[in-house]
Every structure is written in structure tokens, then in C-alpha cells.
Amino acid sequence: MTDGADSSGGGLFSRELEQARPGAGRRRGLVVGAILLVLLGLWLWMRGSEGGALRAMSPVQRQALYQETWRDQRAKCLGPERSDSPDQCQHRAEFLLRFPQCDVACRTELAPSFSAPVP
């Protein structure tokens, strides 16, 4: 099986045949680690933020949430019977601004919900 050759000197699968550069493995490990950290950070950012949660929803779910939130905003903050506090109204208005459906007309209608000008 060994053809009479001394197997102590290394064979076909021996690591001695591989001429590794000094520090190449460490560098490769650092690059892979950095890439994994960036990917993890992006994943956490997408999942952790409200905007990421909105982007993760299906368009039908996002539209339903947008309409329900608008209904609440109009009834509790913009109508004649305002039942929510100014802080609650502002928080809900800020949430509505994160939806892609919130256009110029949406921002204009939300303006009274902010104590400062809308960005």
C-alpha cells in the first residue's frame, strides 16, 4: 500500500507539502470574522428598527397597518374629540412618517401633531 516508501516523511495528504505563508490563516480568519460581524449588524439593524419591521411586512399587511394607524390618528388627534395626549399623537405621527405610503399630503395632514416643524 505504501510501495515500500517510508511514510514518516510525509505523503500525498501531508501538511508538510503545503507551503503556507506566515500569518495567512490569521488574516483569513480576521477577514471572515469582519464580514460576519457586518452581516450580523445589518441583520440586527433591519430586524430591530421600526423601519426594518415595516420593510419586512408584506405590502398587504403594511397597507392595513398604515390605514388602521391613520384611522386612530385622525380620530384621536386630528378630529374634534382629541382623546390622546400630544406626546401620543406625535409618536403615532412619527410612526406614520416611516411608511412609504406617507407622501406630501400625508405629511401636511400630520403637521398639527408635531410641536416642531415636520422634517
pLDDT at site 58: 87
Return the C-alpha torsion angle 3, 7, 12, 14, nearest 10: 180
How many Cα atoms occupy the beta-carbon half-sphere of 11 within 13 Å? 9
Domains of the chain, by residue range, sit at 25-54, 59-113
Question: What's the pLDDT tens digit per position in 38-66?
Answer: 888 776 665 556 666 777 788 899 899 99
Grid coordinates representing 53?
419591521
What share of the chain has pLDDT > 90, as a percent? 21
Grid coordinates representing 89?
399623537
pLDDT at site 20: 58
Q: Which residue type, as a one-letter code, is found at position 107? A: R
Task: Indicate the SS3 state at residue 98.
Answer: coil
- The pTM (predicted TM-score) of the whole model is 0.54
How long, in residues, is the chain?
Answer: 119
Grid coordinates representing 112?
398639527
